[in-house]
Amino acid sequence: MTTSVRTRFAPSPTGFLHVGGARTALYSWAFARQAKGVFILRVEDTDLERSTQDSVDAILEGMKWLGLEWDEGPFFQTQRMARYKEVIDQFLAEGKAYLCYASKEELDELRKQQMARAEKPRYDGRWRDSKTTPPAGVRPVVRFKNPLSGGVTFDDLIKGPITVSNAELDDLIIARSDGSPTYNFCVVVDDWDMGITHVIRGDDHVNNTPRQVNMLAALGAPLPAYAHVPMILGADGERLSKRHGAVSVTQYRGEGYLPEALLNYLARLGWSHGNEEVFSMKQFTEWFDLEHASRSPAQFDPEKLLWLNQHYIKLADDDRLAGLVEPELRKRGLDTARGPSLARVVALLKDRANTIPNLAEAAALFYGDGVPEPALLRQHLTGQVRPAMLLLKSKLEALEAWDKVAISAVIKVVLGEAGLKMPQLAMPLRVLVAGRTQTPSIDAVLELLGRETVLGRLARHLSPE
């Protein structure tokens, strides 16, 4: 009987959900979805000094915004302390772990001597089988008895076979002197208890894997398959960090990116399906496999992400975009109730926008007062143009149907009668009704602004001097 696939995403709540973590979550989620398995969210919050509720909230919020729904969890390691103590006691009872009373000063001196001999600093096992009477008043740590001979080999599903000699690994602390369990130990117990079959995580965890494999073996627990995803680099080849721009998922949301754009970009960042660049999450989950994950670090390209965002804004539902743009307009002090339907405005503008604030900036012209700077008005409303504008105003006033087709026809008639070319009329017209020289197609702009607004603004500037 085949074991159902069970994957997990296990962030530490010491910060926001960053881009690298989001990609790991995406790959784990997609692997489970493709196999019709289970995706688990586990919050590894044992670092009590650095873990915060704000970070937990930001991680959950980021996951939900991306649409990476989990099937089980979120589980919190801080709520599983009794279970960890139970397994530590089991290890001690079975002689698979031991109490170590070495002081910090002793260990510092050991490290200093090893480095002086150009040796790799490591614990020397002095309390491993010691019969020495424990020193009074010292609270011991608990160390796992790592095998002394042989090695650990695991077949990484991305990197290939990896072998590490046990002689390279010292006896890991699994419980601190205050009794609190350590990260590597908690991960082992969690993966065992939760039946994790595939551990997909960043390759900064590769060095932890041999230790975890040895502890799972000591428990008689089945080993999951491991897949370590290479890190993400900035354009300068250094590990992606804040200096490269936005690195958290919520920051990208705040800067006006759509979740489907970020997901599509992250999916392609270190994985490929032929030459496909643009695809839905449905397609991604059908295609995803670890065989086509890259073994090399991926380089983050903000311009490529921006291009994808523009693509997805073009495809997005107008009402949905209006809901995202409206708060941006409110920030600018603009009231969308005093203007045309925002969904219609968005439909006109979205093909040129690459972020939500960018789209809002373009939409602002429909909700402001449209008053141009005096110098701009003087520059464009010249003696040659004024008669044509007056003619246009009178013909627009006579229109029965206020729509783009009728407005366009009127403009063409005025151009012919006034002997002007389109730019000679359109540019001043934009300045008079929108207060700016650049807008989308002027007939579409006039239609959306509405008869009353357009005629009122023309009258404002064309009244007798």
Active site residues: 242
The answer to whether 363 touches 324, Cβ cutoff 8 Å, is: no
Task: Name the helix (H) or strand (E) containing 322.
Answer: helix 318-331
Structure tokens at 66: 């991306």
Task: Name the helix (H) or strand (E) containing 107.
Answer: helix 104-116
Q: Which amino acid is at 190?
A: D
Instruction: Name the residue among 149, 165, 106, 164 with its Cα closest to residue 130.
Output: 106
C-alpha dihedral (158, 159, 165, 167), degrees to nearest 10: -90
Structure tokens at 404: 């783009």
Interatomic CA distance for residues 216 and 385, integer angstroms: 83
Interatomic CA distance for residues 443 and 441, integer angstroms: 6
Q: Which amino acid is at 43?
A: V
Instruction: Name the residue among 270, 196, 145 with its Cα closest to residue 41.
Output: 196
Q: Which amino acid is at 455?
A: L
Interatomic CA distance for residues 49 and 189, integer angstroms: 22
3-state helix, strand, coil in the chain (%, to 5): 50, 10, 35
Long-range pairs, 174-177, Cβ under 8 A, ≥24: 174/88, 174/91, 174/97, 174/142, 174/143, 174/144, 174/215, 175/84, 175/88, 175/141, 175/142, 176/141, 177/139, 177/140, 177/141
DSSP 259-279: HHHHHHHHHHTTB-STT----
The answer to whether 96 touches 218, Cβ cutoff 8 Å, is: yes
3-state SS, residue 43: strand
What 8-state DSSP symbol labels residue 351?
Answer: G
176: left (phi over 0), alpha (psi -120 to 50) or beta: beta
Residue that is written with structure tokens 């489970």 in the block? 32
* Strands 173-175 vs 160-165: parallel, antiparallel or unpaired: unpaired
Instruction: Name the residue among 249, 346, 261 with its Cα closest to residue 17.
Output: 249
3-state SS, residue 111: helix
